Amino acid sequence: MTVFEPIFIGTEFNPANTATVYKGGCLDLLASVPDESMQLVVTSPPYNIGKEYEKRLHINEYFEQQREVIHECIRVLRPDGHLCWQVGNYVDKGSILPLDMILYPIFRDAGLKMRNRIIWHFEHGLHCRRRFSGRYETILWFTKEDNYYFDLDPVRVQQKYPGKRHFKGPRAGQYSCNPLGKNPGDVWIIPNVKSNHVEKTIHPCQFPVELIERLVLSLTRPHDSVFDPFLGVGTTILAAVKHDRKGHGSEVVSEYVKIAKERIQKLADGRLRTRPMNTPVFDPKGAGQKLTNAPWLREEVSIEPRLF
Ligand SMILES: C[S@@+](CC[C@H](N)C(=O)[O-])C[C@H]1O[C@@H](n2cnc3c(N)ncnc32)[C@H](O)[C@@H]1O
């Protein structure tokens, strides 16, 4: 977006709004959204793990609730549009149930076609004692039809060896890679929003903006509309508006709604700090941080000579 461009943040759905931040349940907002009007629906629903904003349900009840919302999201999707459902694990007495496995039949039975199951890998989170700590979640990306919009160029990433050339054949000597960069693949290494992330708010599990920017830039055109039924603190709308798209969503918690509106306004005023796309993941060793020295290893070195 052009910085300082005036934007309009509505509280009820109107296709002309730059952003709609609806305070209330997603099914209520969806009821006011016309059929086939959204190019992208992207969201991270509650995982039913007892976070402060959700009531833990029996898994069957959770499935039925999700089915109702997903069907409504499919109704509002344009024929060449996309639906991206980002989920982690449901945990029951220490046993994990990957939510994408549970929810997949809903999308399949509705006739959607899965294009990628993107692995979002991050380094930080709870440390588990009786299993390996969870360090990825997934994004299930579906289209309604085979003739879908997809533009790889704005989301290409740098090649490992951009200076590599063809060594034989008619193109010998020419650079072999695409100068715009390579396909980012389906494993995305993007830091999650923990305490010292520049985008951190009070929300316990907000999206990093760059995760959604990649989807917005590859799956939508400028001025298209993007929808997030479980909006949280408005990250999906930020990623959309930042790139001249429109963003609409609903959130039940008043405090998150307030923060979402503030963040969108800050973006429009050029005051919102976000982690830029494709910034390499921070390497504490490379940065020369002293905390990466293990004191017990230093001791071992000093003890060794005494053994001989
Ligand atoms: C996993 S969080 C999404 C966070 C979001 N991606 C962000 O970047 O802030 C799920 C959100 O859905 C909200 N929520 C739960 N039930 C809802 C409903 N029926 N309608 C709308 N929002 C709901 C919760 O309050 C929570 O903020």
The CATH number for 61's domain is: 3.40.50.150
Is 4 among the domain residues?
no
pLDDT for the residue 291:
87
pLDDT for the residue 53:
73
User: 207 CB under 6 A from ligand 1?
Assistant: yes
Amino acid identity at 54: E
* Section 17-31 average pLDDT: 98
Protein residue whose Cα sits closest to atom 27 of ligand 1: 232
pLDDT for the residue 23:
98
Crossing angle of helices 59-76 and 99-109, rounded to 10°: 50
pLDDT tens-digit map of 120-147: 999 999 899 999 999 999 999 999 999 9
169 Rama sector, left if φ>0, alpha if ψ -120 to 50, beta otherwise: left
Whole-number Å distance between alpha carbons of 141 and 34: 22
Q: Give strand ranges (E) for 145-244.
A: 187-189, 225-228
Is 2 among the domain residues?
no
Kindly list the distances between the CA atom of residue 279 and the CA atoms of 123, 158, 191, 239, 266, in Å, as whole numbers in the listed order.
15, 11, 10, 16, 22
Comparison of pLDDT for 278 and 297, the residue scoring more? 278
Protein residue whose Cα sits closest to atom 7 of ligand 1: 206
User: 256 CB under 6 A from ligand 1?
Assistant: yes
Ligand 1 centroid to 231 CA: how many Å? 5
User: 208 CB under 6 A from ligand 1?
Assistant: no
Amino acid identity at 27: L
Amino acid identity at 93: K
Residue pair 145/213 in contact (Cβ under 8 Å)? The answer is no
Is 118 among the domain residues?
yes
Range of the domain at 193: 9-307
Protein residue whose Cα sits closest to atom 25 of ligand 1: 53
pLDDT for the residue 54:
77
pLDDT band at residue 299, thresholds of 50, 70 and 90? low
pLDDT for the residue 298:
66
Q: Could you tell me which of 177, 189, 250, 178 has the C-alpha nearest to residue 214?
A: 189
What's the domain count of the chain? 1
Q: Give strand ranges (E) for the chain.
A: 9-10, 19-23, 38-43, 77-87, 89-92, 95-98, 113-121, 136-143, 187-189, 225-228, 246-251
pLDDT tens-digit map of 31-66: 999 999 999 999 999 988 777 777 788 889 999 999
pLDDT for the residue 49:
75
Query: Using the 8-state DSSP alphabet, how is residue 3 labeled?
Result: T
Residue pair 260/251 in contact (Cβ under 8 Å)? The answer is yes
User: 252 CB under 6 A from ligand 1?
Assistant: yes
Half-sphere exposure of 113 (CA within 13 A, CB side): 10
pLDDT for the residue 2:
55
DSSP bridge partners of 89: 98
pLDDT tens-digit map of 78-117: 999 999 999 999 888 889 999 999 999 999 999 999 999 9
* Other CB atoms within 10 Å distance of the CB of residue 7: 16
Query: In whole numbers, what is the pLDDT of the chain averaged over residues?
Result: 93
Long-range contacts formed by 110-116: CB under 8 A, 24+ apart: 110/70, 110/71, 110/74, 111/144, 112/74, 112/83, 112/142, 112/143, 112/144, 113/142, 113/143, 113/144, 113/145, 113/146, 114/140, 114/141, 114/142, 115/141, 115/142, 115/143, 115/148, 116/141, 116/186
Ligand 1 centroid to 254 CA: how many Å? 11
Protein residue whose Cα sits closest to atom 19 of ligand 1: 25
User: 49 CB under 6 A from ligand 1?
Assistant: no
Whole-number Å distance between alpha carbons of 262 and 256: 10
pLDDT tens-digit map of 236-250: 999 999 999 999 999
Protein residue whose Cα sits closest to atom 12 of ligand 1: 230
Whole-number Å distance between alpha carbons of 98 and 34: 32
Is 145 among the domain residues?
yes
pLDDT tens-digit map of 262-296: 999 999 999 999 999 999 998 888 888 888 888 88
pLDDT tens-digit map of 163-217: 899 999 999 999 888 989 999 999 999 999 998 899 999 999 999 999 999 999 9
pLDDT for the residue 305:
54
Q: Which atom of ligand 1 is closest in space to residue 201's alpha carbon?
A: 9
Judge whether residue 1 has pLDDT over 70: no
Q: Which atom of ligand 1 is closest in space to residue 231's alpha carbon?
A: 5
Q: Which atom of ligand 1 is closest in space to residue 235's alpha carbon?
A: 8
Ligand 1 centroid to 251 CA: how many Å? 6
* Section 23-32 average pLDDT: 98
pLDDT for the residue 304:
55
pLDDT for the residue 92:
86
Q: Which atom of ligand 1 is closest in space to residue 193's alpha carbon?
A: 8
